[in-house]
Chain A
């Protein structure tokens, strides 16, 4: 009975994480379209939510990586997965609160790694998988998106540079409807799968699934719904950071940034790399800006975002380890997870109340 209660809490927490992932990453998906005027905010967000939902059904390669290639499922318990999720959610909310688009994916993997190390030690980690499928792609992907977006915008300016700006801008705004849609689809397929992977890992740890099993349909459908709802709920503060503070873009730059981001995320998803969609999209935005004019990128803001990226893995790991430590004080039963969940919910409500008191940074009527 106790293990079922813990599993129930883990599934609920994982779906809550998925919701915060969508909420946190709305900016990544729609900011480019909104800032260039290609789509109105509400339309862009609704479309992103729908395509996030659809994207979650496209592939399960990333879910398989998270469930089988990062930590050793034989020594993992549902409580470890729970503590890891708390680490990830806490870090997501902290970075949302201060308005930095850090990586939800790295927060998730950092949280699970931190709680696993706290519980079992470094033997719990699959070093090859962590390095080859998470850390190296995490470094390569944003650089790749930066390069692809930079070359793309260079090509665009060579091909259409002498044409009438009005026609060209209108054309790329239409193009952004498609590239923005592809980005939302890509985001859904890579990010929702991480939650599917974590729930699958918990089900394997609980003995409900055989090691190496694929996520059941209910896991896929619930993860898809949670990320779509989170995306629809939006994150206006981070939209402002990503969309206008890194660089002021034209429609062609937005198209090349979104195209580069979609290509990198979809290709990575196909090969099962659980990369950070935030890193990739911001890499694309910076590439599209830097190729036109290095000074167009506000490097100070970009630097703050990079700092958040660097901090995410260790910070989420530390919070995950702390959450496991607190949970373990109450033994191996359901009491620890129940109390940590209640404490977390209280903190989240307090955080939202404080945010509401200070007002929404970008009014809903702004677009």
Chain B
């Protein structure tokens, strides 16, 4: 009975971790792609300030993606 409860909790944690990591990483990476696409468009239309902001969003998205992957791997190996 105790083993089943423990495994049930581990399974629940697996579900939560998978949802947070899977959807979270995809979202931040999409934001990065959005930033890159907007940067390209805004640069073409010669709006340097807005393009700079889009580049910042892209960089932030990439940074968050990298951080999430690295943290995930550290948790795995820990």
A-B contact pairs, 24 of them (CB 8 A): A59-B76, A129-B3, A132-B4, A140-B14, A155-B23, A163-B33, A163-B34, A163-B38, A164-B37, A167-B37, A171-B32, A259-B22, A259-B26, A263-B17, A263-B18, A263-B19, A263-B21, A263-B25, A263-B72, A267-B18, A268-B14, A270-B75, A272-B10, A273-B10
A residues within 8 A CB of B8? 132
Q: Are B3 and A128 in contact (CB under 8 A)?
A: yes
Q: Are B3 and A159 in contact (CB under 8 A)?
A: no
- Whose C-beta in chain A lies nearest to the C-beta of B30? A159
A137-B11, A155-B26, A178-B69 known; A267+B77 contact, CB < 8 A: no
Q: Which of B18, B26, B69 contacts A264 (CB 8 A)?
A: B18
A353 contacts chain B at the CB level, 8 A cutoff: no
A175 contacts chain B at the CB level, 8 A cutoff: yes
- Whose C-beta in chain B lies nearest to the C-beta of A131? B4
Fill in one digit per residue for B33-56: 1 if any A CB lies within 8 Å of its CB, else 0.
110111011000000000000000
A144 contacts chain B at the CB level, 8 A cutoff: yes
- Whose C-beta in chain A lies nearest to the C-beta of B15? A144
Q: Are B76 and A255 in contact (CB under 8 A)?
A: no
B residues within 8 A CB of A182? 69
Rounded to whole Å, the gap between the CB of A114 and the closest CB of chain B is: 23
Rounded to whole Å, the gap between the CB of B6 and the closest CB of chain A is: 8
Q: Which of A58, A152, A172, A175 contacts B22 (CB 8 A)?
A: A152
Fill in one digit per residue for A172-209: 1 if any B CB lies within 8 Å of its CB, else 0.
10010010001000000100000000000000000000
Interface of chain B: mostly helix, strand, loop or mixed: helix
- Whose C-beta in chain B lies nearest to the C-beta of A186? B76
A residues within 8 A CB of B76? 58-59, 189, 266, 269-270
Q: Are B17 and A267 in contact (CB under 8 A)?
A: yes
| Band of interface residues on B | 35 or more
Q: Are A136 and B34 in contact (CB under 8 A)?
A: no
Q: Are B41 and A171 in contact (CB under 8 A)?
A: no
Q: Are B36 and A256 in contact (CB under 8 A)?
A: no
Rounded to whole Å, the gap between the CB of A177 and the closest CB of chain B is: 12
B residues within 8 A CB of A269? 76
A149 to B22, CA, bound (A): 8
Interface of chain A: mostly helix, strand, loop or mixed: helix
A322 contacts chain B at the CB level, 8 A cutoff: no
A167 to B33, CA, bound (A): 8
A171-B33, A263-B25 known; A164+B75 contact, CB < 8 A: no
Q: Are B34 and A266 in contact (CB under 8 A)?
A: no
A residues within 8 A CB of B32? 171
A58-B76, A163-B34 known; A152+B18 contact, CB < 8 A: no
B residues within 8 A CB of A271? 10-11, 13-14
A residues within 8 A CB of B11? 132, 136-137, 140, 271, 273
A144 to B11, CA, bound (A): 11
A334 contacts chain B at the CB level, 8 A cutoff: no
A129 to B34, CA, bound (A): 45
Q: Are B19 and A164 in contact (CB under 8 A)?
A: no
Q: Are B34 and A159 in contact (CB under 8 A)?
A: yes
A178 to B34, CA, bound (A): 18
Fill in one digit per residue for A127-159: 1 if any B CB lies within 8 Å of its CB, else 0.
011011100110010001101110110011001
Q: Are B4 and A171 in contact (CB under 8 A)?
A: no
Q: Are B30 and A259 in contact (CB under 8 A)?
A: no
Rounded to whole Å, the gap between the CB of B53 and the closest CB of chain A is: 15
Q: Are A260 and B77 in contact (CB under 8 A)?
A: no
- Whose C-beta in chain B lies nearest to the C-beta of A172? B33
A325 to B4, CA, bound (A): 33
A residues within 8 A CB of B10? 271-273
- Whose C-beta in chain A lies nearest to the C-beta of B77? A58
- Whose C-beta in chain B lies nearest to the C-beta of A159? B30
A168 contacts chain B at the CB level, 8 A cutoff: yes
Rounded to whole Å, the gap between the CB of A272 and the closest CB of chain B is: 7
A186 to B22, CA, bound (A): 13
Q: Are B22 and A160 in contact (CB under 8 A)?
A: no
